[in-house]
Amino acid sequence: MHGEITIIEQFMFSIYPGISAVMLTWAAGTVIPIKYTPLMLISIGFIFQQIFMIPTTSSFKKRDKKDDEDLDILSYLQIGAIAAAYCVVPALLQLFIGIYRFSFLGIFHFGFMVELLFLMSVTVFLTTLMSIRPLIEAAGMQFSILIKIRWISGAIATILCYPYLIDIGISSHFLPWLPAAIAVYSTFGALLGYKKYRGSANICFGLALLFSVVWAAKLPWRITYPFLCSTLT
């Protein structure tokens, strides 16, 4: 009985969030064009994983003074499998959608590859923000490697965000400035960790504040959402 309860607890923290994310994405896909569903799955999945991938002590495991058993609900192997699935499933969904819309040979064009690379870089970047440090340490890897992967994937996503949004039909007057804004905010966040770069951080703060003022004044009135217009009409 105790073993069955433990399995149910592991199911609630591993498979259940994935099923919930897929069901919510499927529900959203009934009111928005299908090409937006991979990005929707990434967003919903990230919210669920931020909640359930946090190391949590099991309520059904008792600590024994002579036992060094891990008391966390999810093992390192399970966390690794969840992180890998989060990185792979949206890209596979994008491939299936591309084959459905363009046929198999139709997916081999620049626009589709940009979308696929953007989604992959975003999922990798968001995965590095999750609570996977114990997994990295258990695998014998240095945490600095994860930081480098985060910067590389984030840079790729920043470069491709503008052509991706244009390709899926989300455009605005201010959208071409979006990569620059992301670069300024990320640079400012990185410089805050070093006291010797305080002057540069202050400059980045001024630029970030300027971007925020311009966004608040112009962006909400310029952006268009064709998928909402098509749904309402």
Q: What angle do CA 56, 131, 68 make, to 5 degrees?
A: 45
Provide the residue ranges of all domains of the chain, joining segments of one domain with +: 1-60+73-168, 172-233
Check residue 2 and give its pLDDT.
45
Check residue 6 and give its pLDDT.
65
Q: For each of the chain's 233 residues, which pLDDT tens digit applies?
A: 444 556 777 667 778 788 888 888 888 888 888 888 888 899 888 888 877 776 566 555 555 544 445 556 667 777 788 888 888 999 998 888 888 877 777 778 888 888 889 999 999 998 888 877 777 777 778 878 888 888 898 888 888 887 887 777 776 666 667 777 777 777 887 777 677 777 888 888 888 888 778 776 765 555 555 555 554 45
Q: What is the 3-state secondary structure (H, E, C) of 175-232?
A: HHHHHHHHHHHHHHHHHCCCHHHHHHHHHHHHHHHHHHHHHHHHHHHHCCCHHHHHHH
Check residue 117 and give its pLDDT.
92
Grouping H, G, I as helix, E, B as strand and the rest as coil, residue 133 is helix
